[in-house]
Amino acid sequence: MPVRQHPTARQVRLGAELRKMREAAGLKATEAASLLGVNSVQMSQIESGISGVSEQRLRRLAANYACPDHQLIDALVAMATDRTRGWWEEYRGHLPTSFLDLAELEHHADYRWDVDFLHVPGLLQTKDYARALFSYVNPEFPDDEVEHRVDHRMKRRVIIERPSPTPYVTVIHEAALRIRVGDRAAVQAQFARILELSEADQVTVRVIPFDLDGFAGAGSAMVYAGGPVSQLDTVVRDGPHGTAFIDAQAQLNRFRTLFRRLEAVSLEPDRSRDFIHRLAKEL
C-alpha cells in the first residue's frame, strides 16, 4: 500500500493497536515483519499509521499474535478497510488537522460524552456563540478563518441530528452557562438551542450547579468517544499546546471513572432543563 504523508489520528491509532498486540505477544518488529514477508521499515510504517494494512494481513498478524479478542480484531479490520472520505476533508488545508481528526473520531464513535466547565460544549453551540468564541480566543484571525471554524463546528452536529444519531451525554457546569460568550440575544439563543436539543431522545444534558458541596472536579473537561470495543475508546482534551488524543488503557479507565463521578453529582435531565430555564429568565 502507498505510504501516507499525513496519516489521520484514526490511522495512527490502528497502527498503535497493532503494535500493542505484537508487544503483548512478546514478538519483535522484525519477527512480525517476517510473518508478512515485508522488511522492518515497512512494518514500522504499518505500526505508525504511515502505511495501511489489508484485512488478510491484519488477521494473519492477529492469529500469529494469538490474540483471543475477536471483537477487537473485527473492529481493527473495520478501521483498516474503511475508505470513508467524510465532509471534514473539505477543510483539509484550511483548519488544523486536530479539527479533522476530531470530526472523524466523532463520526465513527458508538457514543459521545462531554464534560465542560467554561464553555457550552461544541455540539450544542449556536453559530453566534461559536463565532464569538473563536473571534475572542483568536482575535488575529481574518473573518474567513473564523467562518471556516464556525462552519466546521456546526457540521459536527450531524452525529446527533442524523437519522441514526450517536447517543450523547453532556455534563455542563453552571459556570459555562453563566459566562456570556456573546451579547444577551446570543446567550438567549444559546439557552434555547440547548433546551431544544435536550428534548431529543439521543441527547442527555446534565448540569452541575455552583452550590454543590465538596466539588473539586473543575479541571476535568473532556470529550470521550466510545469505540466499538472499550479498548478503542478515545479521550480528547484541549491544552495550551494543542489537542491531545488519549488512548492508554490506564488513562481511559481513569476518565471513565471520572465521568461517572461527575454524572452522578450532576442534576437529573429534567432538573437540568428547569435549571437552564431559570437562567434564561434571569437574563
Q: What is the pLDDT of residues 210-261, one digit of tens each?
A: 999 989 888 889 999 999 999 999 999 987 778 999 999 999 999 999 999 9
Picking from 146, 107, 138, 135, the residue whose alpha carbon sits closest to that of residue 123 is 107
Whether residue 126 sits in one domain with residue 21: no
pLDDT for 138 equals 85
**Domain limit, last residue, from 81, 111, 138:** 81
Q: How many domains does the chain have?
A: 2
Residue 126 main-chain phi, psi, to 5 deg: -85, 170
**Domain limit, last residue, from 81, 102, 131:** 81
Whether residue 222 sits in one domain with residue 131: yes
Q: What average pLDDT does the segment 80-96 reach?
A: 92
Q: What whole-number distance in Å separates Cα of residue 170 and Cα of residue 205?
A: 5
Residues above pLDDT 90, as percent of the chain: 90
**Domain limit, last residue, from 24, 50, 81:** 81
Whether residue 103 sits in one domain with residue 77: no
Whether residue 76 sits in one domain with residue 149: no
Q: Is residue 64 part of a domain?
A: yes
- Provide the whole-model pTM: 0.94
**Residue range(s) defining the domain that contains residue 115:** 93-282
Residues 223 and 246 sit within 8 Å (Cβ to Cβ): no
Whether residue 76 sits in one domain with residue 99: no
Q: Is residue 103 part of a domain?
A: yes
Q: Is residue 1 part of a domain?
A: no
Whether residue 181 sits in one domain with residue 49: no
Whether residue 67 sits in one domain with residue 115: no
Q: What whole-number distance in Å separates Cα of residue 259 and Cα of residue 170?
A: 10
Whether residue 159 sits in one domain with residue 112: yes
pLDDT for 1 equals 62
Residues 128 and 186 sit within 8 Å (Cβ to Cβ): yes
Q: What average pLDDT does the segment 111-120 reach?
A: 97
Whether residue 101 sits in one domain with residue 73: no
